[in-house]
Structure 1
Amino acid sequence: MMRKGLGLALAGTLALGLLAGCSSGGDTAPAQEEAFSPSRYAAAINDIARPAADKEADALRKPGELLAFAQIRSGEVVGDYIMGGGYMTRLLAQATGASGRVYAFQPDEFIAFRPEYAAEQDAAIAPYADNEGNPVRVFPLRGPIAAPAFPEPLDAIISVMNLHDLYLPAMPEGTADAALAALYAALKPGGRLIVVDHRAVPGSGAAAADSLHRMDEALARAALERAGLVLEAESDLYARPDDPRSANVFDAAIRGRTDQFAWRLRKPESAQ
């Protein structure tokens, strides 16, 4: 009886396998695509250690949506390029989890212009240090804006509202191309670069970066593609069509409500 029962079970399993093969054309069913939604990052956004100013900015900055667009995973190694006050650094520290690492880069040029950037970097890193004050999981980096020295290959880099800074007249000629080449080199093959910046009037070129702190999309895309990156996705997350794009982004009438582009670019898997 045992052999007979076993035989029937095997026959049933074989039949189910054949039926499954017929229904899928004989191919194995593809794995379900990984889901990235704002709710995935609720713990990072609701972290009680985040400053009140960060939480007040969330309504406009939409951190859950941005992290989902960036496809940040627990355990990843991520760079925050031109970290500013640390808003994204703190989110990434939680979103990458205990097994991830975040490198928060503050350019020497920014610190020279505004020394408070150094203190803000120190403050953003401090909560993730050990009892001796040594950085753990979140590491500060400083250096020339065109040569960020990330110490290991990165799964992703995020740069928010700073691409236009590479085109400021105060920067040496060729800064943008050198910086983007460095970011490309820092990524693992298949790694992602997420860029958010204020839209300029089309065709305004580098002049808009200086006068309005805005980025001409055509100029940006050409530079990113020249570096070897491939545009994978665009998001209208920060699209505000009523912005005429003619005002300085620090103008009180428009600050925090500018029309912005959000791009996810990828380093080809075949890249070395």
Structure 2
Amino acid sequence: MLYLKRLTLSSLIIIPALLAMPAPAGSAAAKRAASPLARALADPARGTDRTADDRRHPAALIALAGVKPGQRVLDLIPGSGYWTRIFSRIVGPRGRVYAVWPEAYGKLAQPNVATLRAMSATPAFANVVTSVQPTTDLTAPEPLDMVWTSQNYHDYADPFMGSPGPDSLARAVFKMLKPGGVFMVIDHMSAPGRGMADTDKLHRIDPETVKKQAKAAGFEFVGESRVLINTIDPLTVPVFNASIRGRTSQFAFKFRKPMR
């Protein structure tokens, strides 16, 4: 009888311990337990994108943005689709990702446009819509949860885009977003006080100018990440200069459209 009592007590200790143990890595239970962001970053379809993760910090930046399953996201001037593929996996089949270029930029990015059009035509990325819009007046076919632009906000100040002004972009984004929607701006930093003086030759913009323009458009500034700050960047050379290319100091700002 004493033996049986001891066995019962042992079972009460061991069984809960087993239940509390994490599922083995790679198991079905572990995959179900992973967050949508973690699953997106681990997706084999990202291929060589993952080699840039240490430099681009997707986990921190998308966590700041707060992208969720089922959302409508616009990736403005998406390049080769690095962020587009992550968004596609996070929003899932109930969501939608719009990969958009204004025509002036799309003419210079034909290989990227072709790549994303081919990608969005596959079943694996059926939730991605790729388009080139005829003007810089950004539009979307439905209200959006987020507009994301990485390293291209400054381009709206430049002659090759017709110089519409980044402030016009901020106003357009404000109209496109749902109440509570998010505008994420990541861009190369210029030296403090430079405003938009360096957008064309250096491809940089003053972070404080971006804040002022977004606030003037009606946005609230709600957060930032410093994971892309690089203190060795002098902020005074073109971003394509070999001494700093791929390692520029960048700001990452989160703005929100007020609920009312």
TM-score range, shorter chain: 0.7 to 0.9
CA deviation after TM superposition for structure 1 residue 84, in Å:
1.4
Structure 1 letter corresponding to 2:217: A
Structure 2: which 5+ runs fail to align?
1-33
- 1:222 paired with 2:218, answer no
Structure 1 letter corresponding to 2:67: I
- 8 Å CA contact 1:89–1:124 kept in 2: the answer is no
Give the match for residue 174 of structure 1: 164
Number of residue pairs the alignment of both structures matches = 227
How many Å separate the matches in 2 of 1:253 and 1:126? Answer: 38
The 5 Å alignment of 1:1-272 reads 41-52=37-48, 54-128=49-123, 136-144=126-134, 146-270=136-260
Question: What is the identity percentage for the equivalent residue pairs of Structure 1 and Structure 2?
Answer: 37
- 8 Å CA contact 1:106–1:143 kept in 2: the answer is yes
CA deviation after TM superposition for structure 1 residue 75, in Å:
1.2
CA deviation after TM superposition for structure 1 residue 243, in Å:
1.1
**Which has the higher mean CA deviation after the structures are superposed, 76-85 or 111-120?**
111-120
Q: What is the TM-score normalised by the length of structure 2?
A: 0.81
- 8 Å CA contact 1:82–1:104 kept in 2: the answer is yes
- 8 Å CA contact 2:61–2:225 kept in 1: the answer is no
CA deviation after TM superposition for structure 1 residue 90, in Å:
0.5
How many Å separate the matches in 2 of 1:68 and 1:194? Answer: 12
How many Å separate the matches in 2 of 1:138 and 1:64? Answer: 21
CA deviation after TM superposition for structure 1 residue 114, in Å:
3.6
- 8 Å CA contact 1:82–1:162 kept in 2: the answer is yes
CA deviations 1:55-77 (Å, max 9, x no partner) are 11111011111110111111111
How many Å separate the matches in 1 of 2:138 and 2:123? Answer: 21
Q: What is the TM-score normalised by the length of structure 1?
A: 0.78
SS at the partner of 1:265? strand
CA deviations 1:99-150 (Å, max 9, x no partner) are 2111111221112234223213313423346xxxxx7321112214532221
How many Å separate the matches in 1 of 2:69 and 2:165? Answer: 32
- 8 Å CA contact 2:36–2:69 kept in 1: the answer is no
Provide the alpha-carbon RMSD of the alignment: 1.9
Structure 1: which 5+ runs fail to align?
1-37, 130-134
How many Å separate the matches in 1 of 2:120 and 2:38? Answer: 21
Structure 1 letter corresponding to 2:60: E
How many Å separate the matches in 2 of 1:152 and 1:45? Answer: 27
How many Å separate the matches in 1 of 2:101 and 2:122? Answer: 17
- 8 Å CA contact 2:197–2:205 kept in 1: the answer is no
CA deviations 1:18-72 (Å, max 9, x no partner) are xxxxxxxxxxxxxxxxxxxx965121111111131x1111110111111101111
How many Å separate the matches in 2 of 1:71 and 1:222? Answer: 23
Give the match for residue 21 of structure 1: none
CA deviation after TM superposition for structure 1 residue 177, in Å:
2.6
